[in-house]
Amino acid sequence: MTGPRIAICVVTYESAPLIADLVASLPAGAAGTDWVLVVADNASTDGTVAEVRRRAHDAVIVEVGANRGYAAGVNAAVAAAGDRDAYLVLNADVRLAPGCVRALYGALTPAVGVVVPRLIDARGEVIWSMRREPTLLRAWGDALLGAERAGRHPLLGEVVTRPELYEAARDTDWAEGSTQLISAACLSACGPWDESFFLYSEETEFELRARDRGFATRFEPGAGARHLEGGSSTSPGQWSLLVANRVQLYARRHGVLATGLFWFATAAREASRALLGRATSRAAIRDLVSVRRMRTAKSPDWLAGVRV
């Protein structure tokens, strides 16, 4: 096979029901490339590894030995893949459209280190996958207007929610992490993903770090994929961890005062939603005001049994 050498790096945890459709989408999705599937399994107990072996005989399988989180799985898969031109970080619940990987690879340049596709959900609707860097103003915009309305205005929203912006290629500060092609040059310059984030914000941290080192993240609508999406919006534990890690990430890049104000805006948002009866926000506000929980937000003990 000719074409760029691509490692398709999938992190699994209790993912057995997802493997058949994932593997079935890869030959067409990665057509025109010299690809290998590398699966890093975080100690699944549901037969995920056996299912991978049954469905993908040539896959490289890394048994991590414990549920160490998403970034740790990504790093294990990349290390096992060896020398490649690029690495496609892929969730197990993603289904690649034909030609996706080749289109992503075609958008890589010396200045573009990460390329992401146009994603649709299980209903066929476009997923708002592009993100702006978290700022105080955007945190308050989200709190007061809601993510969708705030996202129509670049200064006020972190999630890019204007439909027309998903029709053409463009750079974005970061993008949701289910489907990301990363160049070998970018990984070499930036180093591994930050394993201190057990789940959520690890892709944000990596792509902002890549931008700091001169590598842009690019949205490429000519590449497509379907993301079935997980349960962070409905699981109180997962939502709480997502919120806590956003604050933790902001703290790494800003001073104490700015971080305090960001925490306050985040807490105000979750408190207002909790008053409306959202169980996810009730969990988030409870953990935001707990010093112990915030200190351990990046620990796997936070979410025993969370799917990664």
**Using one digit for the tens of pLDDT, what is the confidence trace for 177-200?**
999 999 999 999 999 999 999 889
CA within 13 Å, CB half, 250: 26
Kindly state whether residues 137 and 280 are assigned to the same domain.
no
* Over residues 235-251, mean pLDDT: 90
203 assigned to some structural domain: yes
Pairing of strands 60-63, 86-91: unpaired
Q: Note the pLDDT of residue 307.
A: 42
Beta strand 174-175 with 216-227: parallel, antiparallel or unpaired?
Answer: unpaired
pLDDT of residue 305: 41
Q: Which pLDDT does position 302 carry in this prediction?
A: 45
Does residue 42 form part of some domain? yes
**pTM: predicted TM-score of the whole model, two decimal places:** 0.92
Do 91 and 73 lie in one domain? The reply is yes
Same domain? 205 vs 242: no
Q: Considering only residues 237 and 295, tell me which one the structure prediction assigns the higher pLDDT.
A: 237
| Whether residues 84 and 221 fall in one domain | yes
Among the ranges given (36-45, 139-148, 283-292), the one the predictor scored with the smallest mean pLDDT: 283-292
- Single-letter residue type at 306: V
pLDDT in tens, 266-297: 999 999 999 999 999 999 999 898 766 666 55
Task: Identify the band that residue 304 occupies on the pLDDT scale cut at 50, 70 and 90.
Answer: very low
Last residue of a domain, one of 227, 262, 295: 227
**Is 49 a member of any domain?**
yes
The residue with greater pLDDT, 120 or 236, is 120
Q: Are 280 and 253 in contact (CB under 8 A)?
A: no
Please provide residue 300's backbone torsions phi and psi, each rounded to the nearest 5 degrees.
-65, -20
What is the rounded average pLDDT of the residues 108-130?
Answer: 96
The verdict on residue 289 lying in a domain is yes
Element (H, E) at 41: strand 34-41
The rounded distance, in Å, linking the Cα atoms of 32 and 29 is 9
Asked if 85 and 190 sit in the same domain, the reply is: yes
Angle between helices 48-55 and 16-29 (to 10 degrees): 30
Q: How far apart are CA 303 and CA 69, in angstroms?
A: 10
Q: Which of 273, 224, 268 is nearest to 126 (CA)?
A: 224
103: domain CATH number is: 3.90.550.10
pLDDT number for residue 238: 86
- Answer with the one of 175, 195, 227 that is the final residue of a domain: 227
Residues 42 and 18 in one domain: yes
Q: Is residue 156 part of a domain?
A: yes
Residue 258 maps to a domain: yes
Structural domains counted in the chain: 2
Smallest CA-to-CA distance from 94 within 180, 34, 174 is with: 180
Cα 24 from chain centre: 22
Contact criterion met (CB below 8 Å) for 42 and 123? no
Chain-centroid distance of CA 186 in Å reads 17
Bridge-based pairing state of the strands 34-41 and 5-12: parallel
Same domain, 179 and 294: no
* Alpha carbon distance 158, 166 (integer Å): 15
Kindly state whether residues 256 and 189 are assigned to the same domain: no
Structural domain containing residue 88: 5-227
Same domain, 195 and 250: no
Element housing 67 (H / E): none
Residues 55-93 pLDDT 10s: 999 999 999 999 999 999 999 999 999 999 999 999 999
- In whole angstroms, give the CA distance from residue 168 to residue 86: 23
Is residue 220 domain-shared with residue 251, that is, in the same domain?
A: no
Same domain, 244 and 118: no
Does one domain contain both 129 and 250? no
Q: What was the pLDDT predicted at 297?
A: 54
Tell me the C-alpha distance between 250 and 38, whole Å: 32
On whether residue 250 sits in a domain, the answer given is yes
The two three-digit tokens of residue 221, written as one number: 């609508």
Angstrom distance (rounded) from CA 90 to CA 22: 10
Domain boundary among 204, 227, 250: 227
Q: Is residue 308 part of a domain?
A: no
Q: How confident is the model at residue 1 (pLDDT cuts 50, 70, 90)?
A: low
